[in-house]
Structure 1
């Protein structure tokens, strides 16, 4: 069968997008997991952090499902949602809409460019929960906010939250960022461990200047990525809880793949976050795929988009800014 894929990225967090809305594909759950595992392999012809499947929705303009490179399904993906937002808005010639995700129907909207000629979208990140049972995290308490887990680390304090993906966030200094501690800790909590039976995304946050932070994330099911949208949103919220920033104000969030903007909103029933950043198209490709021999797929055609060159300029500016503070 021939499969049309769109390679895209949000802050360097790259995906293959497959449109199932028109009914030309008949994928089952096993098919989607296998496609993600095979097509996202960095040693093969395509490679990506995951696949974004865009499907029909009974209550929104479209539905997004996200499968990580290891074949597991994620409940949400902020960077991926921006790419889906752009794709759906351009498909239906609209500037804002609602996209169904696993845990919530989320508002998305086209924004002014974050950087000249870099297509930019805002996506809603919610629901937010501090109940550790929603991650889940096995501790004899209800929440974990800027507290230590002594048997996990003697020097770091953590905040645990679900947005709705599970996140463990720690605000650290440059020495910690430059050490191997995050890798060691992340691999532990995403392996056989007593705390996180389903694994967890681990983010280290380094405050830069006022209104700016650097976030590095070890993503569950992927490993270290250039950026994780829900992690940057969760990290922004944690800095507000810690008094580094205020709600309703823009936070510039830098990452290894560039930068985004976050705005944390507090309402009577809790928090939600605006995640604002690029949705960049890399190339379109036609894949000759056989379910009986998935590893033997071939890329038949490929059309490259020039807009990646403009995003590279944003990335360069962001990296130069980070170097001033690290």
Structure 2
């Protein structure tokens, strides 16, 4: 099986893009999962946080399916959606588009560069739900906003929401970020447990200067990641609910892979979030895959020059975080 792909990233959250619109690929569901596990292996010649399958839609400009490194499918991926937005918009000569995802059709658009010559896209993150049944989270209450979960921690306060991926978020201080508590909690709720039967993304969030936050995320099906788009969006919303930031204001969201911006919108007690950040291409490659043997070979690879510019954004973000004591 010969496959052409592009490797790219949003805030250091990296993916392999496979175009099923222009190419006559016909993958079974089993093959999609196996491709993700094989090609995304960090010990291989490629390695990534997941595969983005870019497909035709019968009613939108394109369709995105996301498969994690463990072969599971995610309902959404904000950083990945920016890459798909770029690919579809450039393919069709558009500045705005609608991308079909598992739970919703989402608006995307090209934006002014977040940093000089860093290609930037804005994507809609929705729907937002605080119903614990939508995560699911098995607690005897309808929602969880700024509350304790004794089974996980006696000190930390959590909020839970689906956007539509499930997220468990705690606003913390630097000491808690460095304590190892996040790893302990994340592994507990993503192994067999009674609270989160399907697992959950766990984010620790530190409020920085006015309008700025830091988000560190353990991503379900991936582990600790440089950045998670839906986690940064959900975290921004939680900081607005707690009065740390304001709805409709731009929030600078720093992460281990760089920086994005989020804007939380409220409409009749419903929320959606705009996620704005880079969509950077690293290289395109052609691979020969043998799924029966679980092997592949990279037959060609051509680098893009975009990463050098992105690293300047990353360096600026890291210098800011260092100045904030992180």
TM-score where L is the length of structure 1: 0.99
Tell me the alpha carbon deviations over residues 21-59 of structure 1, each in whole angstroms, 9 at most, x when there is no partner. 135111010000000000000001100000000011011
1:142 aligned counterpart, secondary structure? coil
Could you tell me how far apart the structure 2 residues matched to 1:47 and 1:244 are?
A: 37
Residue 210 of structure 2 corresponds to residue 210 of structure 1 = yes
Tell me the alpha carbon deviations over residues 68-115 of structure 1, each in whole angstroms, 9 at most, x when there is no partner. 000000000000000000000000011110000000000000000000
Could you tell me how far apart the structure 1 residues matched to 2:269 and 2:100 are?
A: 21
The offset of 1:152, in angstroms, is 1.1
Q: 2:236 matched to which residue of 1?
A: 236
Could you tell me how far apart the structure 2 residues matched to 1:291 and 1:189 are?
A: 31
Runs of 4+ residues deviating >3 angstroms: none
Could you tell me how far apart the structure 2 residues matched to 1:96 and 1:10 are?
A: 18
Residue 137 of structure 2 corresponds to residue 137 of structure 1 = yes
Q: 2:271 matched to which residue of 1?
A: 271
Q: 1:249 matched to which residue of 2?
A: 249
Q: 1:104 matched to which residue of 2?
A: 104
Tell me the alpha carbon deviations over residues 157-204 of structure 1, each in whole angstroms, 9 at most, x when there is no partner. 000000000000000000000110000000000001110000000000
Count of aligned pairs: 325
Could you tell me how far apart the structure 2 residues matched to 1:296 and 1:208 are?
A: 45
The offset of 1:154, in angstroms, is 0.2
Q: 1:54 matched to which residue of 2?
A: 54
1:297 aligned counterpart, secondary structure? strand
Question: Residue 38 of structure 2 contacts residue 295 of structure 2 at CA under 8 Å; is this kept in 1?
Answer: no
TM-score where L is the length of structure 2: 0.99
The offset of 1:155, in angstroms, is 0.4
Could you tell me how far apart the structure 1 residues matched to 2:179 and 2:113 are?
A: 35
Could you tell me how far apart the structure 2 residues matched to 1:68 and 1:53 are?
A: 11
Could you tell me how far apart the structure 2 residues matched to 1:188 and 1:115 are?
A: 38
User: Where does structure 1 lack aligned partners over 5 or more consecutive residues?
Assistant: none
Q: 1:308 matched to which residue of 2?
A: 307
The offset of 1:296, in angstroms, is 1.8
Question: Residue 64 of structure 2 contacts residue 81 of structure 2 at CA under 8 Å; is this kept in 1?
Answer: yes
The offset of 1:291, in angstroms, is 3.0
User: Where does structure 2 lack aligned partners over 5 or more consecutive residues?
Assistant: none
Could you tell me how far apart the structure 2 residues matched to 1:23 and 1:8 are?
A: 19
Q: How does 1:104-253 map to 2 (within 5 A)?
A: 104-253=104-253
Could you tell me how far apart the structure 1 residues matched to 2:291 and 2:161 are?
A: 38
